[in-house]
Amino acid sequence: MAISSKGLISVVTTRVLLAVFLLQSVCDFKLPTVQADLEVGYYENTGLCIGAEVVVAAVVLAAFVADPTVTASLIRLQFHDCFVQGCDASIMENGTFTERTSPPDLTVRGYNVIDAAKAALEEFCPGRVSCADIITIAARDSIAILGGPTFPVLTGRLDGFPRGPDSPDPSDFLPGPNFTIPQATEAFAKQNLSQADMVNLLGAHTVGVAQCRFFVDRLYNFLGTGLPDPDLDQTYGDYLRKICPDTTNSSDPSLLTNVALDFKSEFKWDLSYFRNGKQRRGLLRIDDELATDPATSPHFTQIGSSNLLFNKEFLDSLTKMSQIGVITDPALGNIREVCEIAIAPETISMPFQLEEEVLEAHSAF
């Protein structure tokens, strides 16, 4: 996708501002220093990899210049990682029985960016920065690039061991695009996240896209009625029907067409998603129901009225999500050399001095 000269200037400006933020800790929002055995600035404070977050930021920014859609994908990748087995980079593992081969994760993107950041860090400080932390840092940087707030993140995670045939099925944990409010609330509750957290986190739909196949039923045959979803704004529905034709052929390539989650604002972190929701222009069923269901509409309206409030609420919930099932005990996790290859505990091999440094750093919390 081509970027205009004005867009390039904006990217460069963002890069400078983000670098200043990372190096000087000038943030829009601050977090408590330590939570759940994680720490803000873990790699700096322990000396394991000074400048690690700057390296990740540079890789994410380069990826954004090449493909502006990748930032929203990186935010989604963190969500999908944390909701299944916790924030342990299990989504990065490739091969049989892995999360990325399950239906909910087939449209997840951004693996290559995490891999590139990991490769850069292995040159910079080998064996010290986990893939799980890279995912968290990359999502944070993506939000900033898209015009969202700058904020510190908790780091110090280890990566999970390999999955097996008895590992959890992502379909049992990840909320689907056609979930109702009760169904979505239950999915978030499994992660000890409240309904308010759910509304806050789904506000990330202010950026990114979804394929036609995830909402085409709303345009032509909602709930088997043979009619469009009556809650969908008619003008918006007409617009979507020009993009996503009616088809009963599940292999029709038109079903893979991407449509902005936030109408006309998919590259900007703003309140447009909430305004569109109130105008019955939520793309997915869950987006529409967040704005209209009595259980969620008041909070949806409240955070959609203020950038400051939305960002604060979103970051509070994102911080909670980023601590789901984290691994800090070296007996339960490790640091991968390559993110897509999870390492079984009996195959770990690292220089003795480095092993001692990593174990000492993690035992300190």
Give the count of beta carbons closer than 10 Å to the beta carbon of residue 364.
12
Count of residues in the chain: 365
Do the Cβ atoms of 154 and 322 come closer than 8 Å?
yes
Q: Express each pLDDT in 230-277 by its tens digit.
A: 999 999 999 999 999 998 788 889 999 999 999 999 999 999 999 999
Note the pLDDT of residue 10: 47
Sign of the CA dihedral 37, 43, 45, 47? positive
Q: Express each pLDDT in 62-100 by its tens digit.
A: 999 999 999 999 999 999 999 998 999 999 999 888 899
Give the count of beta carbons closer than 10 Å to the beta carbon of residue 212.
20
Residue 140 has pLDDT above 50, yes or no: yes
Do the Cβ atoms of 133 and 158 come closer than 8 Å?
no
Burial class (CB in 10 A: 0-12, 13-18, 19+), 326: buried
Catalytic residue numbers?
Answer: 80
* Nearest CA-CA partner of 321 in 198, 164, 183, 181: 198
Helix ranges (DSSP H) in 194-265? 195-202, 216-220, 234-243
d(CA 278, CA 301): 8
Note the pLDDT of residue 362: 59
Note the pLDDT of residue 19: 46
d(CA 156, CA 364): 11
* Mean pLDDT, the chain, integer: 88
